[in-house]
Amino acid sequence: MKKFISTVKNIFSIEDLRVRILNTIGFLIIFRLGSFIVLPGVDPSKLGGTPEGIFGLIDTFLGGAFSNASIFGLGIMPYISASIVLQLLTVGVPYFQKMQKEGESGRKRINQITRVLTIAITVAQGIGYVTATILPTGAVMVSTSLFMFSSLVLLSAGTMFCMWLGEKITEKGIGNGISMLIMIGIISRFPGALIAEGLEKGSSGMLLLIIEAVVLFFVVVGVIALTEATRRIPVQYAKQVVGGKVYGGQRQYIPIKVNASGVMPIIFAQSLMFVPALIAQIWAGESDIANYIGTTFSDFTSWQYNLLFASLIIIFTFFYTAITVNPEQIAEDMKRNGGFVPGIKPGAPTSEFIDSIISKITLPGSVLLAAVAILPALAIIAGVGGEFAQFYGGTSLLIMVGVIMDTLRQIESYLLMRHYEGMMKSGNMKNNPSNYQVA
């Protein structure tokens, strides 16, 4: 406890860090307040409850703004969709590849294209959001055409404002602005889920609630281990004499993450898991097989659903790792900087060596990621409430752990820069990227 109090005092004694933390808190409060401002013309009392499926996942990311028909009802999700599209284009389209290699000017142009694409996606998603989730509830008290027009304008403005908040958190806060907005939306649901779980269990089920909390603690520890686990490839840099001074000659490491793809495979797999049930609805009532598929894949606790879900996650993990981690580029940069892996020739042999390591660690990483993704379903089967079970795994827990660890690293770097002791007893957080030089 004494160590914790001392660390907090050190954090707030650094003016720049203190201002950034307070700025971040202020921006997050604005974001949360916006999620309760309902679109004009909507009667909140007639809105449905918490949605399920992909809509439920989006509502979790947005902290309830989606189900509240808020002006932040789409939040930052269209921007994330646009960013994923641009990321895939920079891998497969030469025009965007060239733009990405143009340095700062290229990144600015990509950001501009991302913003324009965000507006287009917001309008498209806004139409679906209004027609599929708000109009059917009968909560709209004005004409449909007027409500549609005003809602699209406000939803687009809300998304752009969320983008601005994210950029301000990155610029004037402690970083990771977009991720921070998603994380605060997820965390905002935790107290309510915990209270609902406690009320459901009652006084007679307090021991069971404590057991669930202990299990959740160990699940979080396991996810932290998966998120932070790296395979360090040793790199030796040759000595160089520049202006009478000797540079290099020391050994560094390239940290290759076991889970290099993050939460993206789960998001991709989740978006495809609605296809079987959707197709089955076309032949519903006409075929026993269609009825079986529709019933089975509408229940995310069924073993068939989870087996397919886990398989898709493993496949997408290999796919996303392949397009985001480029062994040839790593080997080329290493060779250009005078570095080499001991015992491996520079160039193509180094690229093949790195590729083989990535392939070896991606398999266990993908299996563990799939296990984390299906944990909420297993928790529900074990008797945990649906709301509380969401925090036992899946994208929610992975995003929370990833963002919190990155935020702690940011604070750690400020403390070490000012010659304060770090947040951990060792004086430095494990796997801090600043500890390694990535060629």
Question: What pLDDT, in 10s, does the model give residues 381-390?
Answer: 888 887 888 8
- In order, the DSSP letters of 278-294 are HHHHHTTTT-HHHHHHH
The verdict on 228 and 312 lying in the same domain is: yes
Domain boundary pick from 155, 173, 191: 173
- Report the pLDDT value the prediction gives residue 23, as an integer from 0 to 100: 92
Residue 194's pLDDT is 86
Cβ of 82: how many Cβ atoms within 10 Å? 21
* CATH number of the domain within which 138 lies: 1.10.3370.10
Q: Do residue 169 and residue 209 come from a single domain?
A: no
Domain match, 79 and 23 both: yes
The helix, strand and coil proportions of the chain, stated in percent and rounded to the nearest 5, come to 70, 5, 25
Q: Are residues 232 and 312 in the same domain?
A: yes
- The reply to whether 195 falls in a domain is no
User: With 0-12 CB in 10 A as exposed, 13-18 as middle and 19+ as buried, what is 408?
Assistant: middle
CA–CA separation, 271 vs 252, rounded Å? 40
Residues 260-269 as b or e (16 or more Cβ within 10 Å = b): bbbbbbbbbb
Is residue 435 in a domain?
Answer: no
427 falls within a domain: no
In a domain, 342, yes or no: yes
Q: Are residues 121 and 251 in the same domain?
A: no
290 and 406 housed in the same domain: yes
pLDDT at 243: 60
Same domain for 165 and 223, yes or no, is no
Residue 63 lies in a domain: yes
Angstrom distance (rounded) from CA 165 to CA 172: 10
Nearest-angstrom CA–CA distance, 109 and 115: 10
Query: pLDDT value at position 204?
Result: 75
Number of folded domains in the chain?
Answer: 2
**Which of 176, 26, 436, 407 is closest to 415 using CA atoms?**
407
pLDDT of residue 247: 58
Where among 138, 173, 208 does a domain terminate? 173
Residue ranges in the chain whose pLDDT is less than 70: 1, 49-54, 57, 239-249, 284-287, 419-439
- The whole-angstrom separation of Cα 57 and Cα 78 is 14
> Residue 160: what pLDDT?
92
| Domain edge (last residue) among 116, 138, 173 | 173
- Quote the pLDDT of residue 434: 37
Residues 276 and 382 both lie in one domain: yes
Angle of CA points 111, 30, 130, to nearest 5°: 70
Axis-axis angle for helices 394-417, 2-13 (nearest 10): 70
> Do 154 and 246 have their domain in common?
no
Do 241 and 151 share a domain, yes or no?
no
DSSP SS3 for 346: coil
The answer to the question of residue 194 being in a domain is no
Q: How far apart are CA 346 and CA 338, in angstroms?
A: 9
Domain co-membership, 217 together with 161: no
First to last CA, the chain: 40
Q: Are the C-beta atoms of residues 71 and 34 closer than 8 Å to each other? A: yes
Mark whether 155 and 34 lie in a shared domain: yes
User: 285: alpha, beta or left, given left = phi > 0 and alpha = psi -120 to 50?
Assistant: left
Residue type at position 418: R
Domain holding 126, by residue range, is 1-173
Residue 438 is predicted with a pLDDT of: 32
Residue 275 lies in a domain: yes
Q: Flag whether 355 is in a domain.
A: yes
